Amino acid sequence: MVGLVMAAAQLTSSTARAQTPPPPDSTDATGAAPADDEEGPEAGVKRPPAPDQRAGHVLLQPRISLAVPFADLAVDLPANVVVGAGVAFGVNAGVGLGRSAVLQATGNYALLPGSARCNDCSGQSLDLGLGLAYHLTQGLAFDPWISYAVGYRRSSFEGQAQTSRLAFNGGVFQGIDAARIALGGDFYPLPWLGFGLFLGLDVGTYVVRPEGLGRSTYGNFTAGFQIALDPIRQRLEAPTRTGNGAQKATGMRSAPAGGATGLDLQAESRRSFAGI
């Protein structure tokens, strides 16, 4: 009888312990703290750096724009006395130096009609330049950029224009664009094809002028549309997770294949007491 009483007391104590909920900070059967569900399956996985999508790529940008000459062609000879706003055709060709920088060569040819003060006048302008473009993003659909370059300009004008101090009968000018600043943005519906708008400002001086004209500073403002092409754009592969990382991410959530849990031990204890 004494043995039966003691067995019943132990069974009651074990059942009470089994029904008591574990404390919030208790560990699981493996002895490890439960994993935080907010970490996700990639917790602790080291991601590789984003691929460089610009270095070594050849980039082409054919463009068309409105060209507006301003300032002076020479001393006492404003540009708007001779010609007005015209249309310019050009192309930029560059090679990527890194994630953001592009070394690019530029070329433009502008056709300029006569101004309101000189109907028989007309002009043409050819410029070539070399500079750097900085892109703010890569791998996104919208790519804003800014560029700086220097260049050579050759302009020729025909017709007779009269100012208060001199008479201009046309001629050829050759000069240096000391600063060619442009900014814009391209939208890429395809990884290798984009369309965008841009604004440009060129400032320089003509070092070769018709005889009798003094040196002055000229300017040219442009606003236009361009097509952005990346002919050798490579398809990027999605980064893969390593096997160790996947095991690390899921190992804390799985129970070991072998080993008994606390409830299994309590059930075994009940079976032992029942056999007494």
Q: Residue 74: give its domain's CATH number.
A: 2.40.160.20
pLDDT of residue 167: 86
How remote is the C-alpha of 48 from its chain's centroid?
A: 18
Torsion 11-16-19-24 (CA) sign: negative
Which among 100, 68, 60 has a CA at the least distance from the CA of 230?
60
pLDDT in tens, the chain (276 residues): 555 545 555 655 555 555 555 555 545 555 555 555 555 555 567 777 777 778 888 999 999 999 999 999 999 999 999 999 999 999 999 999 998 999 999 999 999 999 988 878 999 999 999 999 999 988 789 999 999 999 999 999 999 888 878 888 889 999 999 999 999 999 999 988 999 999 999 999 999 999 889 999 999 999 999 999 998 774 444 444 444 444 444 444 444 444 545 555 555 555 544 444
**Residue 233 pLDDT:** 73
CA–CA separation, 122 vs 111, rounded Å? 8
CA 127/CA 268 separation, integer angstroms = 93
Q: Which residues are within 8 A (CB) of 12 and not within 5 positions of it... i.e. 6 or more apart?
A: none
Residue 3 lies in a domain: no
Q: Is residue 142 part of a domain?
A: yes
Inside any domain, residue 85: yes
The answer to whether position 17 is within a domain reads no
Residue 254 has what pLDDT?
Answer: 46
Residue carrying structure tokens 């192309």:
91
Domain count within the chain: 1
Question: Which of these, 56, 203, 199, 225, lies nearest to 129 by C-alpha position?
Answer: 203
Name the phi and psi angles at 269, rounded to 5.
Answer: -65, -40
Where do the DSSP E strands lie in the chain?
A: 58-74, 77-78, 86-96, 101-113, 122-135, 142-158, 161-162, 167-168, 171-190, 193-208, 217-229
Range of the domain at 128: 58-229
Strand pairing class (101-113; 86-96): antiparallel
In angstroms, rounded to a whole number, what is the distance separating the alpha carbons of residues 48 and 39?
A: 19
Q: Looking at the domain assignment, is residue 251 inside a domain? A: no
Q: How far apart are CA 91 and CA 54, in angstroms?
A: 19
Q: Is there a domain that residue 241 lies in? A: no
Q: Tell me whether strands 58-74 and 86-96 are parallel, antiparallel or unpaired.
A: antiparallel
For residues 263, 265, 267, 270, the Cα torsion angle rounded to the nearest 10 degrees is -140
Q: What is the pLDDT of residue 247?
A: 44
Residue 45: inside a domain: no
76 is a domain residue: yes
Shortest CA distance to 25 belongs to which of 35, 16, 33?
33
Give dist(CA 65, CA 221) in Å, integer.
Answer: 10
| Residue appearing with tokens 């950029």 | 145
